[in-house]
């Protein structure tokens, strides 16, 4: 059985599903490799407009597979480092994918599962979802996911939940900014977000996502933002969008 499944529809919406339900979609080296390759490949495909990330079975993801971590602990420091770098590459590949990524979260998102949530652009979770970064209770730290989680929730929330290892609710995840919406109608609300993303210019969405990453890294933002909007206004897609709005018609990417 594949560790993930990838399904695309005629609109260019691709659903990537974590597919290790027997272990609550905990990831091992197989799933890490498959997710990295899938997001790297989908990010390069012009026909892909939106990626939906979900989990099969009872949970979204329980984080790292304990058996995988046990095997890693028995390796030398070099092999452990290589495993950790592969995991870091997976999160970074999802986080920097030029396509918008929508996370649909159910059941539980723990440890690395929280990392996956943090790498999604838009996240909807069911009310009963349990979140947690419980690594300290195993004598570990949430090191690899920390850049993505802290970027989403800030230092204050990270200091509480990374240090205590407490589980927290979907309502709390919403409050601290880890997710964007809580809904029992997960698929229906996800479909609304997908439609909203399909209404945008695909190049503009990719550029906006890249802009957000650039802005967070820079001190002097004026020159960058002026350059970026000037470039986008002069682009074929930008001209088409403005012309369509003024002409009261749908832009070309919606036809």
Contact 17, 54 (CB under 8 A): yes
Query: What span, in angstroms and rounded, lies between the C-alpha atoms of 121 and 179?
Result: 9
Query: What span, in angstroms and rounded, lies between the C-alpha atoms of 102 and 109?
Result: 15
- Which sequence positions are flagged as catalytic? 135
Query: What span, in angstroms and rounded, lies between the C-alpha atoms of 81 and 108?
Result: 27
Q: What token pair was written down for 241?
A: 């969008």
Query: What span, in angstroms and rounded, lies between the C-alpha atoms of 229 and 209?
Result: 13
Separate counts of helices (H) and strands (E) for the chain: 10, 9
Q: Which of 66, 174, 163, 159 is nearest to 129 (CA)?
A: 174
Contact 226, 220 (CB under 8 A): no
The SS3 of residue 10 is coil
Contact 101, 51 (CB under 8 A): yes
Contact 116, 140 (CB under 8 A): no
């Amino acid at each position: 059985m594949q560790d993930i499944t990838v399904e695309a529809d005629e609109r260019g919406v691709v659903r990537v599903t974590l597919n290790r339900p027997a272990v609550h979609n905990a990831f091992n080296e197989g799933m890490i490799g498959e997710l990295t390759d899938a997001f790297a490949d989908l990010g390069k495909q012009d026909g892909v407009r939106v990626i939906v990330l979900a989990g099969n079975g009872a949970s979204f993801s329980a984080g790292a597979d304990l058996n995988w971590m046990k095997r890693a602990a028995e390796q030398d420091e070099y092999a452990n480092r290589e495993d950790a770098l592969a995991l870091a590459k997976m999160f970074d590949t999802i986080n920097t994918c030029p396509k918008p990524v929508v996370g649909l979260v159910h059941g539980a998102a723990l440890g690395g599962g929280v990392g996956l949530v943090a790498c999604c652009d838009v996240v909807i979770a069911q009310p009963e979802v349990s979140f947690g970064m419980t690594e300290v209770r195993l004598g570990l730290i949430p090191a690899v996911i920390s850049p993505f989680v802290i970027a989403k929730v800030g230092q204050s929330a990270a200091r509480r939940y990374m240090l205590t290892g407490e589980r927290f609710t979907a309502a709390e995840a919403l409050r601290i900014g880890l997710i964007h919406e809580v809904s029992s109608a997960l698929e229906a609300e996800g479909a609304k977000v997908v439609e909203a993303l399909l209404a945008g210019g695909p190049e503009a969405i990719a550029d906006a996502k890249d802009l957000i990453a650039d802005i967070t890294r820079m001190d002097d933002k004026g020159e960058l933002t002026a350059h970026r909007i000037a470039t986008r206004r002069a682009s074929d897609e930008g001209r088409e969008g403005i012309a369509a709005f003024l002409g009261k018609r749908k832009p070309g990417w919606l036809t």
